[in-house]
Structure 1
């Protein structure tokens, strides 16, 4: 197995520098027309480590796990093992293909926990935009289905669409992803909406969103936060004033607050 080491901290000229170990191109599933891979980022030190399933955005139709490299490195530098994954894209593959691939990646990560020195009781999800939607959907559907114990213990989701059930019935805006309009496939719009699966068994969820996001308006995320709060689920809604969709993705303050949230739920000795 190939390991690539990255320096993550500056120190005295002759001091040994801690490194992140990157294990790229790990195949976690083979589909008929696509090989699905993950890049693993392992922190310095000895485990077992808390772990994060990291899901990229791209409107469910594009993007790359490499786009999440800076987020993955940030978490690895703070003690997390990270699996940045890929998944099949719409419109060639409509929903629920993306969800199925992310769930397969999570199962694979847990199955390989010993290999990567991962603590299976401290696994979370992190995603942005479409990736944030998929991270929330995995967690809420798992809770709704009564998984015991749930695989994801905490989720961070930024710029995430959370509810498609308010889409105009005849609109074909999401046809490429969900297979048709809401009038044609109402159940798909419900199934794909994290908000519609929220129960009191959901894990803690940190939502962050730019107030000037014109790609994914933040009303759905606010509604998601409100529903989680009403059920007593630990949740944070972190607003970034004046930030748009891209600006929110790269915002260092949001990243830092998200890390605090994860630490509080996934690090041993934290409350």
Structure 2
């Protein structure tokens, strides 16, 4: 009888597992629609997944957030950020700051495409700056990391513009934006005065190992393979030892899975322990960022906890 009880319990748990429940929290059709694309990435996947989530983002509450758009953090045309600020903080309160760089294969994308990400974190009490950066081929490695650094510097130099604690900044990005965040965190900021950055949050980083580039990414890295080792994040993780949170989708492309495996190995070699790592079950390269701000909380609570643990406040 006891064996039958546990068999039934395990069977039910398999049907309504927390991971399945998370992704299906919006509706089974969204989860099924995302899974149907498998681990591919192409224009049809980008369009299809964003269309699945568009009505959810439109219906989501935007209350409790003040947004200021297109603040120049540098002199370049695309060096602008949108600032999402919690509007219901107590007077004088200082909260963590999150800087986020969008994806787009180094050549496309825009901060407006991830507005739901800014709203989500601001609604959870975090000042969030969504940044644009200069595209390749006008920009080349490590300019994305330098743009992130300029955004961090602007936030630190303009404390009157937001209630963020400039000694508690987290740098993040998805896809190409994750590469730019990591480039700043491990390379372009290494050895410089304290910038207030307390952690990195990298979602589906595509090029941690530049010696394993996809052909299309060479528009940013260039064609000179002799330079790739020095451009590889995995060779610089010891240059600045920041806490790190990594995330991939269960159905991220095989190249993304491989790149993250190499970054995990490098961080394990550095720290003799595994980094904070989360696989967003059921998600792909697009839905892993589209699901923020919906009923699906596959990653949000984990990132919020990572920020809380490392904020130093």
- TM-score bucket of the superposed structures, by smaller chain: 0.7 to 0.9
Match for 2:133 among 87, 91, 99?
87
Alignment of 1:114-153 (within 5 A): 114-142=160-188, 145-153=190-198
Q: Which whole-Å CA distance do the structure 1 matches of 2:151 and 2:239 have between them?
A: 25
**Aligned pairs, how many?**
244
C-alpha separation in 2, matches of 1:27 and 1:139: 21
Aligned to 2:45: none
Identify if the C-alpha distance between structure 1 residues 234 and 173 changes in structure 2 by more than 3 Å, giving closer, same or farther.
same
| 1:261 aligned onto 2:306 | yes
Listed one character per residue, the Cα deviations across residues 74-112 of structure 1 (whole Å, up to 9, x for unaligned) are 111111111111111012322233222222111111111
Aligned position for 2:153:
107
**Corresponding position of 1:220:** 259
Deviation at 1:253, TM superposition (A): 1.0
| 1:157 counterpart residue number | 202
Q: 2:276 aligns with which of 231, 236, 240?
A: 236
User: What SS class does the counterpart of residue 186 from structure 1 fall into?
Assistant: helix
Distance (Å, rounded) in 2 between the aligned partners of 1:50 and 1:124: 8
Equivalent residue for 1:247? 287
Structure 1 residue 148 displacement after superposition: 4.1
Match of 1:204 among 243, 250, 261: 243
Task: Give the structure with higher Rg (CA).
Answer: 2
Tell me the SS of whatever aligns to 1:206. Answer: strand
Specify every segment of 5 or more residues in structure 1 that has no aligned partner in the other structure, as ranges. Answer: 1-5, 10-18
Residue matched to 1:179: 222
Flag structure 2 segments of 5+ consecutive residues without an equivalent: 1-59, 292-296
Structure with more of its chain in helix, by fraction: 2
Residue pair 1:94, 1:178 contacting (<8 A) in 2 also: yes
Q: Give 1:118 shift.
A: 2.1
1:26 to 66, 71, 78: 71
Once the two structures are superposed, the pairs formed by residues 34-49 of structure 1 within 5 Å of their partners are 34-43=77-86, 44-46=88-90, 47-49=93-95
Q: Distance in 1 between matches of 2:164 and 2:281?
A: 36
Is 2:100–2:171's contact at 8 Å kept on the other side of the alignment?
yes
Runs of 4+ in 1 over 4 A off after TM superposition: 6-9
Contact 1:204-1:234 at 8 Å conserved across structures: no
Task: Give the alignment's TM-score, normalised by structure 1.
Answer: 0.81
Which range is displaced more, 171-180 or 252-261?
171-180
CA distance in 1, matches of 2:274, 2:81: 29
What TM-score, normalized by structure 2, do the two folds share?
A: 0.71
Q: CA deviation at 1:200?
A: 6.9
Task: Name 2:124's counterpart in structure 1.
Answer: 78
Separation in 2 of the partners of 1:267 and 1:7? 30
Q: What RMSD over aligned residues (CA atoms) do the two structures have, in Å?
A: 2.4
Deviation at 1:222, TM superposition (A): 2.4
Q: Tell me, in whole angstroms, the C-alpha distance in 2 between the residues paired with 1:247 and 1:30.
A: 33
